[in-house]
Structure 1
């Protein structure tokens, strides 16, 4: 293999890192900075402004129903380019917004593009271009989303301070349009003879191990429903992270400490996503899942029981480590269990289930607080989510090989 040939897989990896940093880190993690300034200008409540993210998330969840099939049939280079271009234009249009309806429409369009451009593009591209080290590259690229959030939040906040929220949207649109659109144009949709994937493909006497399973075949396997349940449960956990700062102040600790606790979650999540990918490549999958699920149990249990600031920060870092199960291990497992044949479609269906769970969790955790005056019920549900997700995957994972044999012969 020539240097040029071997490099292209790593170029795809670099592109995925930028998609994660700017897509998740900028587009997803900075939207809250705009709520206050927009609500002041239009003289409406923040809830009315935040409704645009509800439209975004609902559109994204519905789009996930079709995103996998679209990614199978359309050239990924031009599909990603079109999605990032639409996101850029939608962002720029908001600089001329004179009503909240404009925000709702623009963020609905962004939500439709988001599953293909951001949520699915990274695992789909990496699964095509890496036969080996898939867990490592997936973990690093997805882990950079937290770094992106850390970098872009103060930058966009300063842009909004200096130039207003309209200037903030211009800044975000420029970053997406000038970086992600050209990067999308630069990719090759899949490996070729001239530009092969990194590493040797897994060889097996079983044809199914070489080609993978279709969604229809996957639906006949208990492990599909185990992974789907895990995605539902752990995305519910992910949505509840938004309430951590409220929990910290509710138990009588300062807002500054609350912000530090949230930063601890982000740091833990970055480390967790990067490290779990590496360990999945190096060690037994069940062992890695057990350790990181235990992080989730300990971290969320600590949030429910601890009241000392430093211990709460430590618990936040630990629960952040556990986030690697949902965000890296599950997409990795889906690829390892079901193969590449229908990976984007299977992943999109399972992610859709998770997207609805995440949307519901923000409301439900708040409802539990309103009813009980405490977030502890929500945190104990999160503990149970990690424990049950691990149990159901372990029970069904061992049956995968025999199920694959049955499907191959059917």
Structure 2
């Protein structure tokens, strides 16, 4: 098989691209509906119900903690037999959570329905989608497949964010949550039709494998790599996990507080939403660029580079409203930096440990991403109330991302790359 193609060995459209499209729809509507568009709701909800910013943000912590428990409990069941069943159940639970939000009369409603939302977030969105895309694309195509998945997701997120902003301003935030419930319902129907565990179930070869034997090993359940238990015994594994937590502490904070920062800086909510949308649209190009760098060059270049760009973005956000260069720096840095979360994080695991237990390792990556999500939005909300402004909190987050760049440079070095020849030395 060619390392990158849109057709299978029979000349038909490669089914893996339908998996990529489905994953993009799931994450564009459900993942983004849970975390990426929360900033659109923050000010309307808190002002309507008279809620404190930190108190409202705390539901994100509850949701993220539930996601963590979900992944720790069921990630080992993400397999050929159970994947579709788990995703369908999680999607149905997600519908209930958004309906609950739409009916909210106090903080307690958000706290209660954050629990089923966390289950949906863990069992229906990024973790299973990353596993499915990884299953359908080998090492030579996985980075680009991931980036295309995230690029399409970005388009959907932009549309969703602007639709929600219009609806919330014209019809109210409760209608916005009902729309998100309907989005999850659509995704459940797509999952019923499209989700397939791997090329083996379709009887076709996998795009992007280094050689035929890699596919045979995958089909027989003997893919090369370091086992999950052995990987967890290595300190470098935990360092990689920690980098995921630190990166998402920052990204989660931006998703929840980025628009609010701009509004306080003198930008209208509609314009702030438009700026975020513009960045997401441009990421349709920047995401695949990062994917190509991952596939064609060293993963370490992309891993360190995206973290530093992300740090630049947050530094710019710290000066929004006080310096004219704040917003441009934020936008440029964010467009090239945010792939650090969902492109680089899972690729670190295949780089370091091969494919033997890749699905379980990706599950743990997302556990630590969940920890970051649990801390970030609430922590920055508390820091904002402590300092009375977002300037210092964002400078702190800049330093966090510089540390992430250092950690990821170590984890993605040539010395850390898994091969059957250097397995004993890792």
Q: CA deviation at 1:305?
A: 5.5
Instruction: From 113, 119, 122, give the equivalent of 1:112.
Output: 119
User: Secondary structure in 1 aligned to 2:196?
Assistant: coil
Q: 1:363 to 1:265 in 2, by over 3 A?
A: farther
Q: 1:204 to 1:110 in 2, by over 3 A?
A: same
Q: 1:162 to 1:291 in 2, by over 3 A?
A: closer
Which residue of structure 2 aligns with residue 227 of structure 1?
Answer: 240
- Give the TM-score normalised by the residue count of structure 2: 0.80
Q: CA deviation at 1:120?
A: 0.4
Which residue of structure 1 aligns with residue 205 of structure 2?
Answer: 196
User: Secondary structure in 2 aligned to 1:226?
Assistant: helix
Which residue of structure 1 aligns with residue 302 of structure 2?
Answer: 288
User: Secondary structure in 2 aligned to 1:2?
Assistant: coil
Q: CA deviation at 1:177?
A: 1.8
Length, aligned pairs only? 406
Cα deviation digits, residues 115-171 of structure 1 (max 9, x gap): 121020221001100013211111121233332232123323455567665544443
Q: 1:165 to 1:270 in 2, by over 3 A?
A: same
Q: 1:49 to 1:202 in 2, by over 3 A?
A: same
User: Secondary structure in 2 aligned to 1:195?
Assistant: coil
C-alpha RMSD of matched pairs (Å): 3.6
- Give the TM-score normalised by the residue count of structure 1: 0.83
Q: Aligned partners of 1:170, 1:61: CA distance in 2, in Å?
A: 25
Q: 1:189 to 1:74 in 2, by over 3 A?
A: same
**Structure 1 stretch 63-72 or stretch 260-269: which is displaced more?**
260-269
Contact 1:18 1:180 in 2 (8 A): no
Correspondence list, 1:156-195, <5 A: 156-159=164-167, 167-192=175-200, 194-195=203-204
Correspondence list, 1:3-402, <5 A: 3-4=11-12, 7-31=14-38, 45=51, 52-72=59-79, 74-92=81-99, 103-131=110-138, 132-159=140-167, 167-192=175-200, 194-201=203-210, 210-241=223-254, 242-248=256-262, 253-255=266-268, 262-263=276-277, 266-267=280-281, 271-304=285-318, 310-320=324-334, 321-396=336-411, 397-401=413-417
User: Secondary structure in 2 aligned to 1:212?
Assistant: coil
Q: Aligned partners of 1:112, 1:174: CA distance in 2, in Å?
A: 17
Unmatched segments (≥5 aa) in structure 2: 1-8
User: Secondary structure in 1 aligned to 2:395?
Assistant: helix
Q: 1:391 to 1:204 in 2, by over 3 A?
A: farther
Contact 1:20 1:144 in 2 (8 A): no
Q: 1:309 to 1:384 in 2, by over 3 A?
A: closer
Q: CA deviation at 1:329?
A: 1.0
Q: Aligned partners of 2:133, 2:141: CA distance in 1, in Å?
A: 10
Q: Aligned partners of 1:62, 1:183: CA distance in 2, in Å?
A: 23
Q: 1:53 to 1:137 in 2, by over 3 A?
A: same
Q: Return structure 1 stretches of 4+ with deviation > 6 angstroms.
A: 35-41, 93-100
